[in-house]
Amino acid sequence: MSVSQMQRTIAQSVSVSGYGYWSGQDVQVEFRPAPAGSGIRFYRLDLPGQPQVPAQWTYRMPTPRRSSLRCGQAEVQMVEHILAALYGLEIDNCQVWVTGAEMPGLDGSALPFVELLQQAGMVVQPVCRPTKVISQRVRLTDGDSWIEARPSALGQTVLEYHLDYGPANPIGRQMFRTILTPETFCREIAPARTFLLRQEAEALLAQGIGVRSQPEDLLVFDQHGPINNHLRFADECARHKLLDLVGDLALAGCRVVGELVAFRSGHRLNAELVQILDHLATEDRQCMKQCA
């Protein structure tokens, strides 16, 4: 059986502290090793009984501009960057212990989480990784936005995102495409940061949201470009949308093989696609046979 088909967890516990972009509340996140087959689970240290929230699409809770999960009375918000880091590094099982509802924004990307998990090291577990293969074309639309899943001729996970803010906008039109592997994720996707327009930021601040965040903490665009910041990639915004897609893809609870192409898609369409793929995608029979 190929090592690449085996499940993985981290070798030791690691932690990071920060504050949530939306709430401004301090929070600590500790990643702990987890048994094979247990998946990714969040644990709320600050709540009685330390309730857990599985990272699965069935527990998704609709929230604006971010991905959130709820199980019973316990919820965790803005989980997409953490989930992207775990999925991108092919970590199948991990306990994520948190001291608050909202995950820390850090630098607005998944890179700090990736570097932390790399420091923890990886352990291969003697259980086959669950994998589902996209076997037919599926397309979801919402106005001008859409996302499509297609079979992959080469048996790879291919991601493509088209961003369109119009030619007169500082963000403009961007497209990024890549084959998802741990190497490409760390190099091409993980460093891409959260972004928004100045008028969007001002509207949130007027509602008392994001008052602790500064333009240096993420990408805030005015008509001239990022305010008090510099781009890591010319197409960083499109790459960040792929980062979000990877995080939402983690809610499938397995590896997904296929080609995913999105045009102005967000968290809601991403999650709806994952739900449909959970029913339509077929299990990787070769992997299942080798694990038998």
Q: What is the pLDDT of residues 221-243, one digit of tens each?
A: 999 999 999 999 999 999 999 99
pLDDT, average across residues 214-225: 91
pLDDT tens track for 34-46: 999 999 999 999 9
Residue 282, pLDDT score: 65
Neighbours of 138 (CB within 10 A): 17
User: Where does the pLDDT of residue 153 fall: very low under 50, low under 70, confident under 90, or very high at 90 and above?
Assistant: confident
Question: Which residues are catalytic, by number?
Answer: 267
Convert the pLDDT of each residue in 65-101 to its tens digit. Answer: 899 999 999 999 999 999 999 999 999 999 999 999 9
Pair 255, 88: CB distance under 8 Å:
no
What the block records as the tokens of 77 is: 């918000």
Going by C-beta distance under 8 Å and a sequence separation of 6 or more, which residues neighbour residue 253?
39, 54, 55, 56, 57, 130
Band of pLDDT at residue 247, cut at 50, 70 and 90: very high
Cβ contact 263:141 at 8 Å = no
| pLDDT exceeds 50 at position 120 | yes
* 176 HSE (CA, 13 A, CB side): 19
Per-residue confidence (pLDDT) for residue 2, from 0 to 100: 56
Nearest to 242 by CA among 167, 171, 157: 157
Q: What would the mean pLDDT of 110-137 be, rounded to a whole number?
A: 96
% of the chain residues with pLDDT over 70: 95
Distance CA 168, CA 180 (A): 31
| DSSP category for residue 21 | T
pLDDT at 227: 95
According to the model, what pLDDT value does residue 214 have?
A: 87
Cβ of 139: how many Cβ atoms within 10 Å? 11
**What is the mean pLDDT of the segment spanning 127-143?**
93
Query: Which of 127, 92, 136, 131 is closest to 284 using CA atoms?
Result: 131
Q: What angle do CA 183, 185, 187 make, to 5 degrees?
A: 70
**pLDDT of the residue at 116:** 98
pLDDT band at 5 (very low <50, low <70, confident <90, very high): confident
Alpha-carbon torsion (116, 118, 120, 123), positive or negative: positive
Residue 134: C-alpha distances to residues 80, 158, 176, 252 (Å): 22, 11, 21, 12
- Which residues does 79 contact at the CB level (< 8 Å), separation at least 6? 42, 55, 67, 68, 69, 103, 247
* pLDDT at residue 283, rounded to an integer: 57
HSE-CB for 145 with a 13 A CA cutoff:
12
pLDDT of residue 243: 98
As a whole number, the mean pLDDT across the chain is: 93
* Predicted pLDDT of residue 281: 61
The percentage of residues in the chain with a pLDDT greater than 90, rounded to a whole number, is 86
Residues paired with 148 in a beta bridge: 139, 261
Q: Is the pLDDT of residue 11 over 70?
A: yes
Helix (H, G, I), strand (E, B), or coil: what is residue 59? helix
Average pLDDT rounded to a whole number, residues 155-159: 96
Tens-place pLDDT, residues 160-189: 999 999 888 889 999 999 999 999 999 999
If pLDDT is split at 50, 70 and 90, which confidence band does 289 have? very low
